[in-house]
Amino acid sequence: MASSLRSWSLCFLMASILAISSKSTIANFQPSPWQLAHATFYGGACGYGNLFANGYGTDTAALSSTLFNNGYACGTCYQIKCFQSPWCYSGVTFTTVTATNLCPPNWSQDSNAGGWCNPPRVHFDMSKPAFMKIAQWQAGIVPVMYRRTDGLRFSFQGNGYWLLVYVMNVGGGGDIANMWVKGSQTGWISMTHNWGASYQAFATLGGQPLSFRITSYTTQETIIAWNVAPANWQVGLTYGTSLNFH
Ligand SMILES: *[C@@H]1O[C@H](CO)[C@@H](O)[C@H](O)[C@H]1NC(C)=O
């Protein structure tokens, strides 16, 4: 089983924000194609991942750095199904997990024997309860198919003069080149990169519906999400959209 005892604190912070803010207005369901990976599980009292992920209940996973993408993947929801293993539970379609941790590489273990999270492996170190929904735990490791679901989500932090937006579930390459915010009474304001997929604007935007313009670094697509947040938007809440990069 891969070690996921070291969590990425900001990922935890952002994931907690998402967990606390349940208000979301996600519309359509736009799953990405299924892709192949592997999954192990972590468990037991020493799993910091479990502690850190309290807000999500137990259906969480730590991602290998290939998937984690420097934090851009924090808060992303994945559907995971067990794939072509005798340990798979038959009749189970998939389980849904939220990414709350980095599963760090351990180069003292071979990538094919314990070092499951070593790049370039695509790996989910799932919470034990989540793993046990798709496969028998005695398997230790199973091949899985995974896909990302739904659209971009915007989680708000900050204060009256500073808006910090954490963008979750970013499709395409999973990264963002540029981002702007627009209040109903302002023009487009360029946001600066904070960490991972968090962007900030030092502007007074309270009491206005907010729109975002985002450009994907990988796909070069631009998405304009009009009026994602209503005029009475609040820090601590997450606002959803059905839009995403491809
Ligand atoms: C890395 O693997 C070695 C060998 O199995 C193990 O002793 C060590 O505890 C691991 N390190 C971490 C951080 O898990």
Is the CB of 118 inside a 6 Å radius of any atom of ligand 1? no
Q: Starting at the earlier edge strand, list the strands of the sheet with 192-195.
A: 192-195, 198-201, 162-168, 153-159, 238-240
Minimum-distance ligand 1 atom for the alpha carbon of 104: 13
Say which residue the tokens 């790996």 belong to: 123
Is the CB of 106 inside a 6 Å radius of any atom of ligand 1? yes
Q: How many CB atoms lie within 10 A of CB 243?
A: 18
Query: Is residue 73 helix, strand or coil?
Result: coil
Q: Say how far residue 34 (Cα) sits from the centre of its chain.
A: 16
Is the CB of 3 inside a 6 Å radius of any atom of ligand 1? yes
pLDDT, residue 82, reads: 97
Q: How far is the CA of 107 from the centre of ligand 1 (A)?
A: 9
Residue located nearest, by CA, to atom 14 of ligand 1: 3
What ranges make up the beta strands (E) of the chain? 35-42, 60-64, 77-82, 95-103, 123-127, 142-148, 153-159, 162-168, 176-183, 189-190, 192-195, 198-201, 210-216, 222-229, 238-240
pLDDT, residue 223, reads: 94
Q: How far is the CA of 108 from the centre of ligand 1 (A)?
A: 7
Q: How far is the CA of 1 from the centre of ligand 1 (A)?
A: 11
How far apart CA 201 and CA 103 sit, in angstroms, is: 31
Is the CB of 238 inside a 6 Å radius of any atom of ligand 1? no
pLDDT, residue 14, reads: 52
Q: How far is the CA of 161 from the centre of ligand 1 (A)?
A: 45
Q: Amino acid identity, residue 35?
A: Q
How far apart CA 156 and CA 234 sit, in angstroms, is: 7
Contact 234, 197 (CB under 8 A): no
What separation in angstroms does the CA of 135 have from each of 74, 94, 140, 190? 24, 10, 9, 46
pLDDT, residue 212, reads: 97
pTM exceeding 0.85? no
Ligand 1 mutation target, pool 40, 109, 112, most atoms within 8 A of CB = 109
What separation in angstroms does the CA of 79 have from each of 22, 37, 118, 209, 215? 19, 12, 22, 32, 25
Sign of the CA dihedral 69, 71, 77, 83? positive
Question: How confident is the prediction along the chain (246 residues), in pLDDT tens digits per residue?
Answer: 333 333 344 455 555 555 444 444 444 445 778 999 999 988 533 333 333 333 455 688 889 999 988 777 777 788 899 999 999 998 888 898 888 788 999 999 999 999 999 999 999 999 998 999 999 999 999 999 998 877 888 889 899 899 999 888 888 777 889 999 999 999 999 999 887 778 999 999 999 999 999 999 888 999 999 999 999 999 988 888 888 888
